[in-house]
Amino acid sequence: MKCEICHKADATKAIRRGDSEDDELYVCAACAKAERQRRQKKSQRTRKVTGLPPGMSMSVTQISSSGEDVEPPPIIGAIMNAFHDMVSDIEKAEKEAKKQEPPKMSDLSLDGTDGIFLVRDRLHLEGLHLIGELDAAKRALHAVGMELAGVNADGISDAGHVYAVQYAPDDENKAKRIASALLREERNARVRLFEEMPRVFGDALCRALSILKNCRLLSPAEQFDLLSPLRLAAIEEMLDGMKLPAIEKMLSAIDLSGADEKLTQEERDKADAERADDMNRTFEDVMLNERAEEKFL
C-alpha cells in the first residue's frame, strides 16, 4: 500500500489528522515525521504572524512609581471618594478594634452586577491586576474595614483574580458604594489595557496561550488562573478558535475546592497530566486574531 500523502513510498505507519478514526491515514516514515513536526510547530503558535525574533521575549515585572512626592494611583482616590467622612470612619474603626475582636465579615451580594465583571459569582478584577493597581485597591478596602477575598488553591494565591467583597455588619450601604467604585475602576483598567497598554495585555495573553498549548502538567488553580486573561480577550473578541461561552464554561467547571490534595502524588500527577493534555488539544488551534495583532504589534 502506498503512502496516502505522497503516494510514492510504501506506507509503514498509521497517523491521525483529527480526533476521529475516520481521519486515520497510512503513510510512509518521511510523511509521518513531517506531519509530527507540523503539528508540533502548530501547537506552539499563539499568533498568526511572526513577532519578536527567535530567542527574544519580554516581561513586565512592575508598573509603579517611586519617590516620596509621587501621587498614589487614581483608584485609591476613586474608592475613598465613594463614601463620606472617610477619615472619621477610619478613626472610629481603629478605636473600636482596640476594644473588641474583629467583627465577622459578610459577603456582599453581587446581584445586578454586569456579567462581564463576574466569574462564579465573584468580581473578576483581572484588569486591575494587569495594570498593577490591584494591591492598591486591596489596601484601600482594608483601610475602611472591608476585604477582597480571593481564591487560594494548589499553592496559588488569588487564582484568576476573582474576589468576594467582604464587609462588617451594618456597613452594607457603604460596601455597595465602594463595590460600585471598584467596578468603575475595573472598567477603566480594561480600557487602559486595550488602548494604552497593549503590550502588557498582549504579553499576558500570549503567555497564557503558550502554556495552555504546551504544558505537560496543569493543576486546577493554574488552569483557572491562565484562563482569566483569556476571558478578557474573548470579551474583546480577540481570539480565533475560542469564544467567550466556551471559556466561561471551562471556568465554571474547574474544581477549586482543593480536593486534589487528598490524592497521592502519583494520582495528582496523573490528574494534572490528563488536564494538561486536554488543554493542549483544546487550545491547539486557538490564536490571537487580526484585531489583536493590530493592537499588539
The answer on 208 and 190 residing in a single domain is no
Domain-ending residue, one of 194, 215, 236: 194
Which residue shows C-alpha cell 503558550? 210
DSSP 166: E
The one-letter code for the residue type at 43 is S
The answer on 136 and 113 residing in a single domain is yes
- Beta strand spans in 23-144 (E): 24-27, 106-107, 118-119, 122-124
Within a domain: residue 43?
A: no
The answer on 185 and 97 residing in a single domain is yes
159-203 pLDDT, tens digit each: 999 999 999 888 899 999 999 999 999 999 999 999 999 999 999
Q: Mean of the pLDDT values across residues 47-62?
A: 49
pLDDT over threshold 70, residue 83: no
115-134 pLDDT, tens digit each: 999 999 999 999 999 999 99
pLDDT at 61: 41
Decide if 240 contacts 286 (C-beta within 8 A).
Answer: yes
The answer on 183 and 87 residing in a single domain is yes
The answer on 221 and 155 residing in a single domain is no
200-212 pLDDT, tens digit each: 999 999 999 999 9
| pTM to 2 decimal places | 0.71
The answer on 229 and 297 residing in a single domain is yes
pLDDT over threshold 90, residue 4: no
Please indicate whether residue 80 or residue 63 has the higher confidence score (pLDDT): 80
pLDDT at 14: 81
The answer on 273 and 178 residing in a single domain is no
The answer on 182 and 82 residing in a single domain is yes
Within a domain: residue 69?
A: no
Within a domain: residue 59?
A: no
Within a domain: residue 1?
A: yes
Domain span holding position 13: 1-34
Q: Give the contacts of 124 (CB within 8 A, at least 6 positions apart).
A: 116, 117, 118, 160, 161, 162, 186, 228, 231
237-248 pLDDT, tens digit each: 999 999 999 999
Domain-ending residue, one of 174, 194, 214: 194
What is the number of domains present in the chain? 3
Q: How confident is the model at residue 1 (pLDDT cuts 50, 70, 90)?
A: confident
Within a domain: residue 53?
A: no
The answer on 88 and 183 residing in a single domain is yes
The answer on 278 and 250 residing in a single domain is yes
